Amino acid sequence: MSLAFTKMHGLGNDFAVLDARAQRFSGAPALIRSMGDRQRGIGFDQLLTLHRADRPDCVAALRVWNRDGTRAEQCGNGLRCVAAWLARAGEIAPGVDARVQTDRVVATVRVHAAEDVEVDMGVPDFTPAAVGFAAAADAPPQRLDVADMTLELRVVSMGNPHALVVVEDLAAPALDILGPALTAHVAFAQGVNAGFVRVLDRAHLALRVHERGAGWTQACGSGACAAVAALRQAGCVDAEVEVALPGGALRIRWPGAGHPLWMRGPAAFVYEGEWLDADA
């Protein structure tokens, strides 16, 4: 059997988008690992599969699969790419709000153009329980021993778990050790996306993210949202912030507590393909 897919990326965070409404897809972890292999497969950070939504107000349901075959609850860059994919397929009208169902939330998406997509990422949740974190105290920042270092971190759920650490140097060699170690730390029941953020000024951040199941990524949309939410809660940034990631910049808007957070950025089409070695 074979599987048709579209290769896309959001600022270098790359995906294979597969319409599982139109073809059978097993979701077997071994299959996803084979597809995600960058030498022998398609190569991607995440596989995005579209399904029929349970809710009549949603155009489709999205499932997110990490390159290692595990599931992810949310993916901001993936939502933008799926919204652009649905718009190109004529299922979303340009400039008109539409809804996409995910594992955790119903996300409102607004496609201005393929290179300009907005996503409502929901209301940030700062409680340690929301990210499966065994915190010694609820009040941030929390302290955690990681790889023989004690880190001060802030945790936030954007539908998926994030831990943010403020740093002065995003190129520090220690981050190469701290990223994987924090992601897999036993204090987080389901693992965590580890973000290292530098505050440039009240309207600009720089960020690197080590993702669960994918490793260091060129861009992490939910991670950018989490960084802005955590630092706005701490009083460090304003309501509108540009977040620079290795692959490019995202614009984040969050009025504050009780309000949804919006992310805006590009989604790019790369090529259409067919996975031929598929045990689907």
Percent of all residues in the chain with a pLDDT value above 70, rounded to a whole number: 97
* Per-residue pLDDT reduced to its tens digit, 222-277: 999 999 999 999 999 999 999 999 999 999 999 999 999 999 999 999 999 999 87
Pick the range with the lowest mean pLDDT from 93-97, 205-209, 238-242: 93-97
137, pLDDT greater than 70 = no
The answer, yes or no, to whether the previous bond of 56 is cis (omega within 30 of 0) is no
CA dist., res. 77 & res. 12, Å (int): 10
* Per-residue pLDDT reduced to its tens digit, 177-201: 999 999 999 999 999 999 999 999 9
pLDDT-derived band at 74, boundaries 50, 70, 90: confident
Predicted local confidence at residue 2, as pLDDT: 87
Mean pLDDT (the chain, rounded): 94
Predicted local confidence at residue 101, as pLDDT: 94
Q: Which of 75, 81, 225, 236 is catalytic?
A: 75
- Give catalytic status of residue 225 as yes or no: no
**CB-CB neighbours of 109 under 10 Å:** 22
CA dist., res. 66 & res. 213, Å (int): 5
- Residue 89 structure tokens: 């397929």
* Per-residue pLDDT reduced to its tens digit, 45-68: 999 999 999 999 999 999 999 999
Predicted local confidence at residue 279, as pLDDT: 54
278, pLDDT greater than 60 = no
Instruction: Sketch out the chain's domains with CATH numbers.
Output: 3-122+267-275 (3.10.310.10), 128-259 (3.10.310.10)
Given a contact cutoff of 8 angstroms between Cβ atoms, the answer to whether 220 and 76 are in contact is yes
Q: Which of 58, 220, 225, 236 is catalytic?
A: 220
